[in-house]
Amino acid sequence: MITIIEADGRREREQLEAMRARAAQKNEAIELAVSSIMENVKEEGLPAVERYTREFDHRMPYEVPNERLEQAYQSCPPELISALEHAADNIRDYNQRLLTKTVEWTSPDGGTVGRIVRGLTRVGIYVPGGTAAYPSSVLMNAIPAKVAGVEEIIMVTPPTDNLNDGVLAAAKIAGVDRVIAVGGAQAVAALTYGAGFIPKVDKLVGPGNAFVAAAKRMAYGTLDIDMVAGPSEVLIIADGSADGKYVAADLLSQAEHDKLASAVLLTDSMELARSVDREIIRQTGYLERSEIMEASLRDFGCAIVCPNLDWCVELANEIAPEHLEIMTCQPRELLPRVKNAGAVFLGAYSPEPLGDYLAGPDHVLPTSGTARFFSPLSVDSFLKTMSVIQFDRSSLAPISSEIMTLAQTEKLTAHANSIRVRFEEGEPEIRRG
C-alpha cells in the first residue's frame, strides 16, 4: 500500500522530487477562466458576480440574515455546539496570549519612538460549500481576526440549496458580522474590488478549490491573502519505539483529504516501516474514502528508512511540511533542530487532528514547502503596525548634522534642507545645476 525506500542520498530525493512535480502541475484553462472572471467583476461589479453565480451555481447571490445563523445554531446537535464552543475558547485563548501590543519608549537620542498596532478594518473569509463543509475552519479563520480587533468580518460561501448548519453555527460562535451566499472566483473578485452589497476587504483568508486558489493569487497585491494553500501534508518522524498502528492512522488522516494529499514517514527502523504498511492495509479496509486514501498514498505517500534520526530531521527540514509529527522515545529532544514546519506535534498522543480541531493553534498552515518562509495563520495575520516618532527641538538638534550628512551623501538636498531650516538662520546659497 505504501512505497518503502531505503535512503541513500539519491533514491529518497528522487521520490520526493517526483511527488513535488506531480503536485505542482497547473491547469492553464483554470488560470485563463479565472483571469476573465476577475477582470469582468472589476469592470462591471455586481452584475458580473450575479451572472457568474447564475452560470455556476444556478442561483443569485444573497445575504444570509442573522436569524438564519441563530436557527442553525439551535438546529445543530448539542454535542456539536459544545465541541465548537470548546474549540472556540481554546483558539481565542491561544491568540489572546500572542496578541502584540502598542509600545513606545525613549530612544537613545532622547526622542519618543515606538510602534502602533491596529487590527485590519475589514476581512473576508472564504468557506467552501457542498460536501466540503468545515465548521472548524470558520473558527480558525474568524476568531484570530476578532482577537486582533478587525472591525468587520465578511464570510462568503457558495449559495447551495441548504447552507450547512454547522458552518453557520460556527460563524455565529466566532462572531462573524455578515454572511453572504456567493462562491467561486466571482466571490474572490467581489471581495477584492467590491460589488454592490458585497464590500471590498483588506484581506481574504480561507480554503477553496482550484478556481478560488487561482483567484486569490491574482487578487494578491490589491488585497492581502493568507496563502495559496496546496494539498494537505503530514510528515512523521518515528523511531522503532513508535506504535505502527498510530503512525498508520495519522498518515491516513491526511490521505483522506484529497488524492493529492501527501503522507510521508521518515524512520530509522525498517521493522516499523513494514508494520505501518500492514496497518495501512488493515485500517483502510474499514475506513470510508478508501479510494481517495489509496490514490493519495500511491502517488504522494512513502516511507523512507534512513540510517539514523539525524538524517530524518535533515530531510524533514528540506521538505518543510505543513504538519510534522515526531513519534520517538524523546520527541522534545529533536525539536530544537526542527527549522521548517507549519506545526509540530510531539509524542504519540499529539496526533495531527488534535491541532485540526481543538488544541488552539491554527490549522491554516503553509504547504508545499512554504513553511521555509511562511507562518501559520494567527492573530498576527490580521494586524498591521505603524511606527511612531516624536522628537522635540532639544532631542533633534544634536543629531541634525548627521541627518544632513546622510541626506547630502544620497544627493537628497531637500531632505537635508528639511532639517537645516529648523536650526540655521538666513537663506542658503542658491545652487542650480
Q: Annotated binding residue at 126?
A: yes
Q: Does domain 45-227 have CATH number 3.40.50.1980?
A: yes
Does the annotation place 58 within a ligand binding site?
Answer: no
The closest alpha carbon to 327, from 319, 336, 337, 335, belongs to 335
Q: Is 254 annotated as a binding residue?
A: yes
Of 256, 322, 325, 352, the catalytic one is 322
- Residue 43 falls in the annotated catalytic set: no
> Which long-range contacts does 162-166 make (Cβ < 8 Å, 24+ apart)?
163/64, 163/68, 163/72, 163/129, 164/129, 164/133, 164/135, 165/72, 165/75, 165/76, 166/72, 166/76, 166/80, 166/84, 166/133, 166/135
Domain covering 4-26+231-373 assigned CATH 3.40.50.2300 in the classification: no
- Report the Cα 26 to chain-centroid distance in Å: 20
Bridge-partner residues for 387, per DSSP? 115
Task: Please list the pLDDT of the chain residue by residue as tens digits (433 residues).
Answer: 799 999 998 898 888 887 777 656 667 889 999 999 999 999 999 999 999 999 999 999 999 999 999 999 999 999 999 999 999 999 999 999 999 999 999 999 999 999 999 999 999 999 998 666 899 999 999 999 999 999 999 999 999 888 999 999 999 999 999 999 999 999 999 999 999 999 999 999 998 888 999 999 999 999 999 988 888 999 999 999 999 999 999 999 999 998 889 999 999 999 999 999 999 999 999 999 999 999 999 989 999 999 999 999 999 999 999 999 999 999 999 999 999 999 999 999 999 999 999 999 999 999 989 999 999 999 999 999 999 999 999 999 999 999 999 999 999 999 999 999 999 876 666 565 4
Query: Interior CA angle at 81 toward 76 and 83, to 5°?
Result: 135
- Boundaries of CATH 3.40.50.1980 in the chain? 4-26+231-373, 45-227
The yes-or-no answer on residue 322 being catalytic is yes
Q: Is 400 annotated as a binding residue?
A: no
| DSSP tally for the chain: helices H, then strands E | 18, 15
**Of the listed 323, 325, 352, 363, which one is catalytic?**
323
363 is in an annotated binding site: no
The answer to the question of whether 63 is labelled as a binding residue is no
- Where helices occur in 301-342 by DSSP H, the ranges are 309-319, 331-334
